[in-house]
Chain A
Amino acid sequence: AQSVTQLGSHVSVSEGALVLLRCNYSSSVPPYLFWYVQYPNQGLQLLLKYTSAATLVKGINGFEAEFKKSETSFHLTKPSAHMSDAAEYFCAVTSDSSASKIIFGSGTRLSIRP
């Protein structure tokens, strides 16, 4: 069964520093992969998605992610962190059994130090 593992439940970086949030997945079929962001008391917002086109995917707010099949990874990066990036980030993968079902990781809380 497919699953998503997010390494690090909490990541803290300084403002202006590189953001790297790690995600590894397992899937028996070529997956579609997603990163969502959740701000306090708000719903999830799609940051970016990989749907078997370009392996480097650019999203909103300066974020990007690279699909690496050999490493079964889909890490999220941003070159320079901003205070407004502080939020919870979720990596997700489509289900093997149902393309409409999305499996989420447990999330990584990103904190930004001034």
Chain B
Amino acid sequence: GAGVSQSPRYKVAKRGQDVALRCDPISGHVSLFWYQQALGQGPEFLTYFQNEAQLDKSGLPSDRFFAERPEGSVSTLKIQRTQQEDSAVYLCASSLTWSSYEQYFGPGTRLTVT
């Protein structure tokens, strides 16, 4: 079956540009998570949705980062005025219910800010 998909897989942005990263979760999954994975590090939590509600955005590093999931399915992570420190792999994950600890991860979007 279809897993979590993310697009684009690779994105190069010039410093100061805005970017939008898309996540298509597994159909019917209630919860959706965004993580940032710097080179050589483990994923770090950014934000979490239950359906369309953003319940936790404590991991977003600055107000330049914004995430939405307006219809409770597809989600977009937007980064405004990108900086070099934003270069990382951005991972999306989904889980079936709010109480499910089994998260299914997408392949990630590798963002390089030049």
A residues bordering B, Cβ < 8 Å? Answer: 4, 9, 32, 34, 36, 41-46, 49, 51, 90, 92, 94-95, 98-107
Q: Closest chain A residue to B41 by CB distance?
A: A106
Tell me how far the C-beta of A23 lies from the nearest C-beta in chain B, rounded to whole angstroms.
11
Contact between A104 and B43, CB atoms less than 8 A apart: yes
Interface string of B18-41 (1 = CB under 8 A from A): 000000000000010101000011
Q: A42-B107, A100-B55, A101-B56 are in contact. Are A90 and B101 (CB under 8 A)?
A: no
Flag if B56 contacts A100 (CB, 8 Å).
Answer: yes
Partner of B101, one of A9, A49, A104: A49
Point out the residues of chain A lying under 8 angstroms from B50, CB to CB.
Answer: 100
Q: List 20 A-B contacts (CB under 8 A).
A: A9-B40, A42-B107, A43-B4, A43-B105, A43-B106, A44-B43, A44-B91, A44-B105, A46-B102, A51-B101, A98-B48, A100-B55, A100-B56, A101-B56, A102-B45, A102-B101, A104-B43, A104-B44, A106-B41, A107-B40
Chain B residues with CB under 8 Å of chain A are 3-4, 31, 33, 35, 40-45, 48, 50, 55-56, 59, 91, 93, 98-99, 101-108
A90 touching B43 in the complex, CB below 8 Å, given contacts A100-B48, A100-B55, A101-B48: yes
Residue numbers in A under 8 Å from B105 (CB-CB): 36, 43-45
Chain B neighbourhood of A32, CB < 8 A: 101
A43 touches B102 (CB 8 A): no
Residues of B with C-beta under 8 A to A100:
31, 33, 48, 50, 55-56, 98
Note all chain A residues with C-beta closer than 8 A to B35. Answer: 104
Query: Are B41 and A102 in contact, with the CB atoms below 8 A?
Result: no
